[in-house]
Amino acid sequence: MTSPKKLFIKTYGCQMNVYDSERMSEALGGQGYVETKTAEDADMILLNTCHIREKAAEKVYSELGRMRPLKEANPDLKIGVAGCVAQAEGGEIMRRQPLVDLVVGPQSYHRLPEMEAKLQQGQKALDTEFPEEDKFERLKARPKAKRGPTAFLTVQEGCDKFCAFCVVPYTRGAEVSRPATRILEEARDLVERGVREITLLGQNVNAYHGTGPDGSEYTLAKLIWDLDKVDGLERIRFTTSHPNDMTDALIEAHGTCAKLMPYLHLPVQSGSDHILKRMNRSHTAESYLRVIERIRAARPDIVMSGDFIVGFPEETEADFQATLDLVEEVKYGYAYSFKYSTRPGTPASERAQVDPAEADDRLRRLQALITRQQREIQDAMVGRTVNVLFEKPGRFEGQMVGKSEYLHAVHVPDSGCVAGDIRPVRIVSTGTNSLGGEMLG
């Protein structure tokens, strides 16, 4: 018997890429690959790239450049580029960096086995098409490997919103939703393998509109209610949402579906209506705040999270102040803030840029405010009882760590728990990024 070939995958960017990397690893498992944690002993290296951040393609090219010695040491080593940079750059990657053997876009991962076979014949393989078929159906997992207590499940990909700063509609393509039956099958399979919490993924997850089990058009709310009936599945989350797609039914589910966790990531990007318009966000600060008001009416203890961009072209100090005002009003438990950076090909890249020093200063001020809010919400957890889904042992002997329903990391000494247990825990302390608790009862 030949020994298995080793696959090293380096994943950049969002949770969708984490999910895709798992599927790619499973697909190549059928070709005799097992994953390794080090690039040095790999037979194939795959970079699963992200295009959201600045100079993403350039960073990939320099990473590839650093792989030359590995290829020199092992001429049989195959190097592949997957993800959104692969989609955006296509064949250009192989022209600029001839040591690359394989370029595969996010919609073509199910074709990896055939592409790998081509590599074995000494050819190169390139596929960045947007085929019609459901790649996840073709990427079905191999026989039941045990999984950890939490998992991602992609239900929707792509985006039709075309925010003026964003590359996603170009790299991931138009919105496509998977059929509900396939998602439910995959969820049941995950539960059989030990998963207790599923996070539904999509670039625009709440715009989900797949075919329902009865052939009708489904919504994310309906999908959540079907998942609610899956025995053994205890927690449901979803990300990332657009404010305009928060339907009444989805908001109501936050109040009535016990498995749906009280945490919502709802990016707003800016608090200024002028900037929101220029971003092509198709909502206002006010309409966003009203959505949150309705969510909080349904689920008063929900923890909100958001994304912000500062220094978007033409942003004035007054516009930025409107963002600070909105943050003050919402009070975020988590938030991700970025300095605007241009993405070639997007509408905003053509516009007058804000002075970088000014943008840095705004980012610093926004992050200071957000950090303060995060701390306040964490500190307010002290004395409260939360339910923790334990995931793994902590740094100290006997300690276990997990997540509360609010997504706070919680560590507990001598918990007596194993990964997968959900137990009530009293919060007794707060740190920078986690809470300390003790078991109840």
Q: Which residues bind ligand SF4 (CB under 6 A)?
A: 159, 161-163, 166, 168-169, 203-204, 242
340 binds, among ligand 5AD, ligand SF4, none (CB under 5 to 8 A by kind): ligand 5AD
Residue from the set 33, 165, 208, 263 that interacts with ligand 5AD by CB under 6 A: 165
The listed partner (ligand SF4, ligand 5AD, none) that binds 12, CB under 5 to 8 Å by sort, is: none
String of contacts with ligand 5AD for each residue 224-263, x by CB under 6 A: ----------------------------------------
Q: How many residues form the binding site for ligand 5AD (CB under 6 A)?
A: 11
- Sheet containing 303-310: which strands, arranged edge to edge? 263-265, 303-310, 334-339
The residue among 241 and 378 lying less far from ligand 5AD, judged by its C-beta, is 241
166 binds ligand 5AD (CB under 6 A): yes
Asked whether position 267 contacts ligand 5AD by CB under 6 A, the answer is yes
Q: Of 246 and 389, which has the nearer Cβ to ligand 5AD?
A: 246
**341 is an interface residue for ligand 5AD by CB under 6 A:** yes
Answer yes or no whether residue 88 interacts with ligand 5AD by CB under 6 A: no
Instruction: Rule CB under 6 A: say whether 52 interacts with ligand 5AD.
Output: yes
- State the binding partner of 169 from ligand SF4, ligand 5AD, none, CB within 5 to 8 A by kind: ligand SF4
- The distance of closest approach from Cβ of residue 317 to ligand SF4 in the complex, given in angstroms and rounded to an integer, is 24
Q: Which is nearer to ligand SF4, 197 or 315 (CB)?
A: 315
Q: Determine, following the binding rule CB under 6 A, whether residue 309 of this chain makes contact with ligand 5AD.
A: yes
